[in-house]
């Protein structure tokens, strides 16, 4: 008999238990083959069985060695609840079940290492945006529009916008003439495919998002832009016409910038923008770190790095103030693209985001445009932070000068259009989505601890892995199609939200259209309380 | 729901004409008040055209406060006209105790300053009087400007006219331009300041409709200019934007329409002036209006302008003859005041159009 000690880790200590019905199992092996975490294995158990082999029923009880699928004991191979075994099982013989008596939170730090997880927040239980509804419905004298028939101007600025008094206009013959150039501003769709780097995502997942971006632009005339993330970009893409749909990100690690700079002379078109990341919501967690397991050969080439854990430094080396970063980084990036490409800043939603935003608003160079504010025990909810930033601009009469783009939790419950619409009414010019994209590519993770293994390189859907065998699981075309179809629906849903409030252009800052049944939220966001 | 109207004539006329323009349209408004701004005055004010005229409705204490303030600022009263009130019983009017229209001489130290400095002085004086009288509801200052008279009151428009004897065409109160409206209602509270037309530094405006970008317009305008205050009505946004574009930015008049109802980006792209229009749209994004609206504006030089929202969800018509032109929400108003005009020449501007009536009564129209 096998000896078990009380301190041994067994499957009932883990977050997920495998529920297995040997009588339904044909031992086809599909579940074991598909489990990228090696959380299950084939084994033999001694079962008590009642058998009858004669022509007449002659039941006899026997002890027999039976082949079975067993959950592997131990933290290293813990089941993450991804459910791939259940998905592939032809006989519904196996599935993971959440273990409510899990001890993983206590045992998971064995070996002195912190618990690592993928980029999901599993602490906040309710969604702020779902507590806000569009309370303003046009009626009678203030007619609503027709989402199908009317035309809507669904575009948002990306770039620095000057105050009216700063526009270099002269008047002649009743006409205004722009005398000199102004900072570049691109009017794009108010939703950006957020910055998930080539290292974080698999080649196929990245390709699927690229294909969807190009398809939405070229076939559906939706000017969607995709942000590269910090890890650089494939050179082939940088030298192609499709670069115009990309926003290139630079962060403190400067990963991939050697190649980007070298590709500059060969770029046929300008990118849609440059995004300087000075902070990100996931940074204090395990986001912002690319584990060595995911630094495959092609990632090393694109980033120009050795195979090792890649952590962006917490700050940009040599920059100690917003003013300094404006002078050094913004100017050099603006100059690199001859002041034709808007350069924006991404900062994390944090206690300090408003001060970052104020510094940008007041920057005397007027060259930075666009600001994105985007964790378990760290980080700041994004909704009130965007509102705070907008209200800081209102106080100074500078709203719209540095467009606000909000990321983090948009589409968390699947309704990205409603979330985006509410963020826009609160003052955002547009939103970023990322998790939603990988969910459309097949990610099964959720905010309740399911999977969340993006950091392990063992993504069971081939989205967040560089392992060739796993990456092949992702159907690029189907993933791209899912994204395209979601975005077409998003666009129609946005119209259907704009129509009843009677607005044909985006209601940026139209907080009077929103109500909430939560008094504290109403006070914090300065929107109407309703009950 | 509002109806708005304006009359512009080469010969001075009496405000009863404005009432005749509006009353046929009364099915479309709620008859809750009457307000008008008269410009280019005649009658008793003919000799005081260069003197700033204070239009004031107040209590006796309010009158005293205003008098003391004006004295302290070295304004010297030159002329006063007080309407002879008809106090017959049964009139539907919530009248203030006193109505005063006073012309002043500029303070000694302002006699020889530039017009720009005088403009600022007049605005600051009106704002200061407003703040002074606002306490305890002592009075309302509607305008303080040379050659401009404003009257606003709550009640039934024809009763208000009877009360102020506006039906009596006695030649005292005359003007070449009148902009008017017959409603005193903000949908919420009854506030005298909320009645159109609104006035700032020579610019008068009234609107028929609902500006659904009121909150974003207001939040932006509050920090643009000290004179942009009140915001009792979502139509004040139009006046402040008009003043900002023409008076502060000093842009040509045609860009007002580009600010309030910018062209869709797809149309801007095709135009030769796309750089300018894009710059305007992005820098003044928070002055864009939305919802159903028609406006009538009167400019300091006497020009009148009208235009609609970008979907033309509110009607307006312009018509007239050689000596008089009128603008109204509904043609039945024009038919009463200008029965002999050629209606085939009436102009019904579309959603992209701007119509301007010049002081010579030339009707200019263009598409944005």
A362 in a structural domain: yes
DSSP, residue by residue, A16-34: EEEEE-TTT-----HHHHH
Strand partners, B295: B207, B307
CATH number at residue A76: 3.30.70.20
Taking an 8 Å cut-off on Cβ atoms, the answer to whether B224 and A394 are in contact is no
Give the ranges where A176-296 is alpha helix by DSSP (H): 203-218, 235-238, 257-263
Instruction: Give the HSE-up count for residue A2: Cα atoms under 13 Å, Cβ half-sphere.
Output: 5
- A291 and A197 within one domain: yes
Q: How many CB pairs under 8 A join A and B?
A: 114
β strands within A167-272, DSSP E: 169-172, 175-178, 185-188, 191-193, 225-227, 246-250
User: Above pLDDT 90, what percent of chain B?
Assistant: 83
A117 in a structural domain: no
Query: Is A523 near chain B, with CB under 8 Å?
Result: no
pLDDT at A143 over 60: yes
User: What ipTM was reported for this prediction?
Assistant: 0.89
- A149 and A72 within one domain: no
* Domain edges within chain B: 4-367
Q: Residue A257 belongs to what domain range?
A: 133-158+188-529
- A149 and A71 within one domain: no
Range with the poorest average pLDDT among A148-152, A462-466, B18-22, B162-166: A148-152
What stretch of H or E contains A272? none
pLDDT reported for residue A296: 85
Cα–Cα distance measured from residue A387 to residue B171, given in angstroms and rounded to the nearest whole number = 57
Q: Give mean pLDDT, residues A440-466.
A: 91
> Which of A134, A138, A140, A141 to mutate to probe the B interface, most B CBs <10 Å?
A141
Query: Is B352 near chain A, with CB under 8 Å?
Result: no
Taking an 8 Å cut-off on Cβ atoms, the answer to whether B249 and A174 are in contact is no
Which residues of chain B make contact with A394, given a CB cutoff of 8 A?
219-220, 223
A207 in a structural domain: yes
pLDDT reported for residue A273: 94
A503 pLDDT tier (thresholds 50, 70, 90): confident
- A387 and A478 within one domain: yes
Cα–Cα distance measured from residue B212 to residue B195, given in angstroms and rounded to the nearest whole number = 18
Cα–Cα distance measured from residue A130 to residue B179, given in angstroms and rounded to the nearest whole number = 47
Query: Is B188 near chain A, with CB under 8 Å?
Result: no
CATH number at residue A342: 3.20.20.70
Taking an 8 Å cut-off on Cβ atoms, the answer to whether A142 and B292 are in contact is yes
Beta carbons of A190 and A498 less than 8 angstroms apart: no
A166 in a structural domain: no
Cα–Cα distance measured from residue B134 to residue B117, given in angstroms and rounded to the nearest whole number = 26
Residue A170 neighbours by CB distance under 10 Å: 9
Taking an 8 Å cut-off on Cβ atoms, the answer to whether B276 and A169 are in contact is yes
A6 in a structural domain: no
- A400 and A284 within one domain: yes
pLDDT tens, position by position, B130-177: 999 998 899 999 999 999 999 999 889 999 999 999 998 889 999 999
- A221 and A96 within one domain: no
Taking an 8 Å cut-off on Cβ atoms, the answer to whether B219 and A501 are in contact is no
Q: Residue written as tokens 């009626």?
A: A139
Residues 220-239 on B with a CB inside 8 Å of A are: 220, 222-224
- A270 and A201 within one domain: yes
Cα–Cα distance measured from residue A401 to residue A164, given in angstroms and rounded to the nearest whole number = 10
Closest by alpha carbon to A488, among A384, A424, A417, A408?
A: A417
- A309 and A237 within one domain: yes
pLDDT tens, position by position, B28-63: 666 788 999 999 999 999 999 999 999 999 999 999
Taking an 8 Å cut-off on Cβ atoms, the answer to whether B265 and A153 are in contact is yes
Cα–Cα distance measured from residue B310 to residue A144, given in angstroms and rounded to the nearest whole number = 14
DSSP, residue by residue, B125-191: HHHHHHHHHHGGG-EEEEEEEETEEEEEEEE-HHHHHHHTTTT---SSEEEEEEEEE-----SSS--
Taking an 8 Å cut-off on Cβ atoms, the answer to whether A155 and B265 are in contact is yes
A122 in a structural domain: no
Closest by alpha carbon to A156, among A338, A304, A472, A369?
A: A369
Best CATH choice for the domain B4-367 from the list 3.60.20.10, 3.40.50.720, 3.90.1150.10, 3.90.180.10: 3.60.20.10
- A197 and A107 within one domain: no
pLDDT reported for residue A283: 47
Query: Is B358 near chain A, with CB under 8 Å?
Result: no
- A71 and A153 within one domain: no
Which residues of chain B make contact with A165, given a CB cutoff of 8 A?
248-249
Cα–Cα distance measured from residue A25 to residue A32, given in angstroms and rounded to the nearest whole number = 12
A178 in a structural domain: no
- A420 and A345 within one domain: yes
- A338 and A246 within one domain: yes
pLDDT reported for residue A63: 93
pLDDT tens, position by position, B336-350: 999 999 999 999 999
Query: Which residue in the set A167, A400, A501 is minimally distant from B285, CB to CB?
Result: A400
B214 pLDDT tier (thresholds 50, 70, 90): very high
pLDDT reported for residue A242: 95
Cα–Cα distance measured from residue A108 to residue B33, given in angstroms and rounded to the nearest whole number = 74
β strands within A104-172, DSSP E: 132-134, 156-159, 169-172
Residue B51, phi-psi category: left (phi > 0), alpha (psi -120 to 50), beta (remainder): beta
A338 in a structural domain: yes
């Amino acid at each position: 008999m096998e000896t078990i000690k009380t301190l041994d880790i067994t499957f009932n200590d883990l977050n997920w238990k495998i529920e297995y019905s040997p009588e339904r199992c044909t031992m086809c092996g599909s579940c074991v083959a598909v489990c990228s975490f090696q959380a299950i294995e084939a084994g033999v158990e001694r079962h008590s069985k009642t058998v009858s082999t004669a022509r007449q029923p002659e039941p006899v009880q026997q002890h027999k060695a039976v082949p079975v699928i067993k959950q592997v004991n131990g933290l290293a191979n813990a089941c993450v609840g991804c459910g791939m075994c259940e998905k592939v099982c032809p006989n519904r013989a196996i599935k993971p079940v959440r273990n409510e008596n899990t001890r993983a939170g206590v045992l998971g730090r064995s070996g002195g290492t912190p618990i690592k997880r993928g980029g999901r927040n599993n602490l906040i239980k309710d969604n702020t945006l779902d507590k806000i509804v569009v309370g303003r419905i046009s009626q009678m004298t203030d007619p609503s529009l027709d989402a199908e028939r009317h035309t809507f101007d669904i575009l948002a600025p990306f770039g620095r916008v000057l105050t009216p008094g700063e526009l270099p206009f002269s008047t002649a013959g009743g006409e205004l003439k722009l005398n000199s150039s102004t900072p570049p501003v691109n009017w794009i769709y108010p939703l950006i495919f957020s910055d998930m780097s080539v290292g974080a995502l698999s080649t196929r997942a990245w390709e699927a998002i690229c294909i969807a971006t190009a398809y939405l632009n070229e076939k559906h005339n939706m000017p969607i832009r995709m942000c590269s993330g910090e890890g650089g970009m494939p050179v082939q893409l940088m030298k192609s016409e499709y670069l115009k749909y990309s926003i290139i990100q630079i962060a403190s690690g400067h990963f991939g910038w050697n190649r980007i700079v070298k590709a500059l002379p060969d770029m046929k078109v300008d990118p849609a923008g440059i995004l300087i990341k000075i902070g990100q919501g996931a940074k204090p967690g395990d986001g912002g770190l690319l584990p060595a397991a995911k630094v495959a050969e092609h990632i090393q080439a694109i980033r120009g790095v050795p195979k090792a854990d890649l952590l962006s430094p917490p700050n940009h080396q040599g920059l100690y103030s917003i003013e300094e970063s404006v002078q050094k980084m913004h100017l050099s990036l603006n100059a690199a693209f001859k002041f034709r490409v808007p350069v924006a800043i991404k900062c994390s939603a944090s206690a300090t985001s408003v001060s970052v935003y104020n510094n940008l608003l007041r920057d005397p160079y007027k060259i930075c445009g666009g600001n994105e504010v985007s964790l378990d025990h760290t980080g700041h909810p994004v909704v009130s932070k965007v509102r705070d930033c907008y209200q800081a601009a209102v106080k100074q009469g500078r709203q719209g000068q540095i467009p606000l783009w909000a990321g983090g939790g948009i589409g968390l419950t699947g309704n990205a259009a409603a979330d985006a619409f509410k963020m826009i009414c609160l003052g955002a010019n547009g939103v970023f989505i990322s998790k939603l994209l990988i969910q459309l590519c097949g990610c099964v993770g959720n905010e309740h601890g399911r999977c969340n293994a993006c950091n392990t390189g063992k993504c069971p859907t081939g989205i967040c892995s560089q392992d060739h065998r796993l990456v092949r699981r992702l159907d690029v075309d189907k993933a791209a199609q899912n994204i395209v179809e979601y975005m077409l629906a998003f666009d129609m849903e946005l119209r259907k939200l704009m129509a009843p409030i009677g607005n044909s252009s985006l209601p940026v800052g139209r907080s009077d259209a929103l109500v909430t049944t939560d008094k504290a939220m109403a006070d914090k966001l300065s929107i109407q309380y309703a009950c | 729901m509002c109806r708005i109207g304006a009359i512009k004539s080469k010969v001075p006329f009496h405000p009863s004409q404005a009432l005749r323009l509006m009353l046929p349209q009364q099915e479309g408004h709620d008859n809750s008040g009457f307000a008008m701004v008269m410009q280019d005055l005649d009658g008793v004010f003919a000799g005081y055209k260069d003197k700033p005229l204070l239009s004031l409705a107040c209590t006796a204490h309010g009158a005293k406060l205003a008098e003391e303030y004006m004295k302290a600022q070295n304004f010297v009263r030159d002329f006063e006209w007080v309407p002879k009130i008809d106090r017959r019983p049964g009139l539907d009017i919530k009248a203030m105790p006193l109505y005063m229209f006073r012309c002043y001489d500029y303070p000694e130290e302002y006699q020889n300053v530039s017009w720009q400095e005088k403009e600022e002085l007049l605005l600051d004086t009106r704002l200061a009087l407003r703040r002074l009288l606002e306490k305890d509801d002592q009075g309302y200052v509607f305008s303080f400007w040379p050659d401009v008279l404003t009257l606003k009151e709550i009640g039934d428009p024809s009763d208000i006219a009877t009360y102020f004897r506006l039906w009596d065409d006695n030649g005292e109160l005359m003007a070449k331009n009148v902009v008017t409206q017959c409603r005193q209602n903000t949908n919420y509270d009854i506030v005298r300041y909320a009645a159109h037309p609104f006035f700032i530094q020579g610019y008068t405006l009234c609107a028929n409709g609902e500006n659904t970008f009121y909150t974003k317009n207001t939040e932006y305008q509050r920090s643009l200019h000290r004179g942009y205050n009140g915001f009792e009505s979502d139509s004040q946004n139009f006046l402040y934007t008009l003043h900002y574009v023409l008076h502060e930015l000093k842009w040509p008049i045609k860009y007002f329409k580009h600010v309030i109802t910018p062209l869709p980006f797809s149309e801007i792209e095709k135009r030769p002036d796309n750089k300018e229009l894009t710059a305007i749209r992005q820098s003044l994004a928070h002055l864009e209006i939305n919802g159903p609206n028609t406006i009538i504006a009167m400019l300091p030089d006497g020009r009148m302008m009208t235009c609609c929202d970008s979907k033309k969800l509110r009607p307006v018509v312009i018509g007239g003859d050689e000596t008089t032109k009128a603008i109204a929400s509904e043609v039945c108003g024009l038919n009463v005041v200008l029965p002999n005009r050629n209606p085939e020449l009436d102009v019904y501007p579309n959603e992209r159009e701007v119509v301007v009536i010049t002081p010579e009564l030339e009707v200019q129209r263009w598409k944005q």
